[in-house]
Structure 1
């Protein structure tokens, strides 16, 4: 079971996602504080949602996700707070989930996953402890492996193959 973790720009987008999750059997609750006695709440199929307006709320979202709750956070994903939240949520996952048919090395997948999450190549390189030049070379190799010409096409191919 994949626990939903969404960072969305506005309430209408969040409402659409929450409706779909409810149809799939998830229980939704506004707010990110978890009051459950047990640490692991992943078996409850609980999704917490709400606006993320400050750093304290970011910490609550990450803690809830770490404990196994699904989260739907409403914050501009291109803002510094939104990018930081997305990066923190991505770090909770042991690694990108990519089918074996994807012809990429793990370091290429890690860079494409960060680009897909909205990071720049420079930010992705720094997060992966690479020089910008090395990151660009690995992304170029990923483009060649995927048979595309642009980095944008590589990210889209990565997302398409990861989904399916």
Structure 2
């Protein structure tokens, strides 16, 4: 990805996909729109702030972060007055994307489309990320948090992975995934 990422997205799922990609590309992801007081110029730190934007204070926080050189990945209703203000203010700083884009990295899917990852497994990128974390010893709650998913969503993704792998338990899914990846 070239330049600083500026995104105004519709959902937390889109945010999670973009954040996962940016983290893989070496960006330091901060949950919330606040940035540290020092240093003023955040360009060199490759910092990205993330979060929902529902009021004028959140718009101001996101725009300040972008003005200081941070990337912004925000979830906002683009049809609302607040969302329109966010889009207009960020557009003065740089180009704003309104959806996850495969061009951000290697062209891998950023949605829930199966991606065989070269191993023939019919799993999505989210399912693979969760199973990788489980294989590394994380709990489902820790894996969900690390992947910017709610626990409920993570459990759904893991259940879908179990079904795709034709196994009954999460343990079996992790074993099958590790064996075949």
Q: TM over 0.5: same fold?
A: yes
The residue number in structure 1 matching 2:53 is 52
The residue number in structure 2 matching 1:86 is 87
What is the TM-score normalised by the length of structure 1? 0.55
Structure 1 segment 36-115 matched on structure 2, within 5 A: 36-93=37-94
How far residue 36 of structure 1 moved from its aligned partner, in angstroms, is 3.3
- Give the structure with higher Rg (CA): 2
Identify unmatched segments of 5+ residues in structure 1: 97-112, 118-164
The residue number in structure 2 matching 1:7 is 8
For the aligned residue pairs, the C-alpha RMSD in angstroms reads 1.9
The residue number in structure 2 matching 1:28 is 29
Task: Report the Cα distance in structure 2 between the residues aligned to 1:62 and 1:44, rounded to whole angstroms.
Answer: 17
Can you list the C-alpha shifts for 1:83-134, whole angstroms capped at 9, x where unaligned? 11011001123xx6xxxxxxxxxxxxxxxx9xx97xxxxxxxxxxxxxxxxx
Q: What SS does the corresponding residue of 1:53 show, helix, strand or coil? A: coil
The structure richer in helix per residue is 1
Task: Report the Cα distance in structure 2 between the residues aligned to 1:52 and 1:70, rounded to whole angstroms.
Answer: 15
- Dislocated runs of 4+, deviation >3 Å: none
